[in-house]
Structure 1
Amino acid sequence: MKLTLSILHSGYGKVYRGVSVKHGNMAIKMLDPRHGQGDHEFKTEIALLSVYKHENIVSLLGYCDENGQKILVYKYECNGSLDNHLKRKDLTWIQRLQICLDAARGLLYLHNDVGLHHRILHRDIKSSNILLDENWKAKISDFGLSRVGPANLQSTFLISKICGTVGYIDPDYYNTRYLTQKSDVYSFGVVLFEVLCGRLTWVPEYKDQREFLVTLVKIHWGRNTLDEIIFSDLLHR
């Protein structure tokens, strides 16, 4: 196997690109415990991705847990994560729609199709966790925070510690601590607005109402002026 230099720094450590005869291009995530990825998250990722397979879910090829070194190996998705393409002028309406449909199919599988009596709640749906392959097919990634729960309960979990990413967290989940599939759906809705508006949900450089996309959407929804925040390069296509 051949490794190249680090291709990015994720929230949990460095990710390298590797090549093997059997699997071709691979993404190799070397976890750094200083970034908060513990045994539980590492084992959750392995347990879920080893069992559940779908064309819109990232593929886990293998892992290593030796001498304190934790490594996850995935199929390399050459177009990276969705968050890096939101402002692309050449990412068309049709491509954006297809990406959203792919991610929605992946989420539907997690919520409704993994088994008769249970579902997977991702807990960190966001544009940086949606990867794109060479054909721009979207695949949901990063399952370390996920929970498996019964499918027949309205409120699946009562959570003492909120997990997720600023700007994507469902306010009902945040306020009540009850985690349901609707919490993932809310986060996915934020991603849809990111795709539509060509920007991330949180832009700290803004010091006004534009800083959080959800706030901006609510303001323009009330004014019936949502067309004013659609990505301008899409409006003229």
Structure 2
Amino acid sequence: MAASLARLTSLSTQTLSLLLERQRLQNIPSNSTSLHTPQIVKNLQQLRAGILELEKKEGVSEATKLLRTQHERMRGMLGGDADVQRCEEPQTEPMSPNASSSSIPTPAPAAPPPAPATSAEGHRYAPYTDDPEAGYTDEDMLLQQRLIMDDQDVHLDELSRSITRQRDLSLQINDELDVHTGLLEGLDHDLDRTDSRLTGARRRLDRVAKGAKENGSTVMIALLILVLLILIIVFKT
């Protein structure tokens, strides 16, 4: 009973989900709400047959009563779009003098088998496939690959032109660096020559300073004699 009851409960939940989706689509004017109707009718018929079979085998229980209530509720949600039979209550036989006080449910008539899907429904739904190459011929695949390769060639050409521009720019930068390197080398040569001249001048000044330091007294006497001669000449005249 547990496995059959679980299957009926799952079927009821699935049917309720389809009905809720159908009601949601009814609020969208451009969508058709008849797509789920055949599956809903089929599920309700299977649910009715399963409830009757379960009650025939195990008797009426709280679980089957809940399933009956759910079945009637879903019939009401479906409305008049499809004719679904009600799930009749089990009928009891009249009490006999020798019968016990408990009621024995009579077997309910078997539910009619669900109607097979029509050819229109078969053409309406296409089989689902997750193969991205489904529906393409070899010529279509070859054409698509050629288009992809042409697109890649265009991008590669653009990349090649961009690399060529970068190469030309790099060569120009290299030429500019060579010019600046030459200028820096010339400036370094001029600085070396100026440093050599300054070194020579410093050496000459050192020699003059050294000579003046060594012959300072002689120079002083010569200057005094010169001043004395100038004074004598001035006073005599």
- TM-score, normalised relative to structure 2: 0.21
- TM-score, normalised relative to structure 1: 0.21
The structure in which a higher percent of residues are helix is 2
Higher radius of gyration, 1 or 2: 2
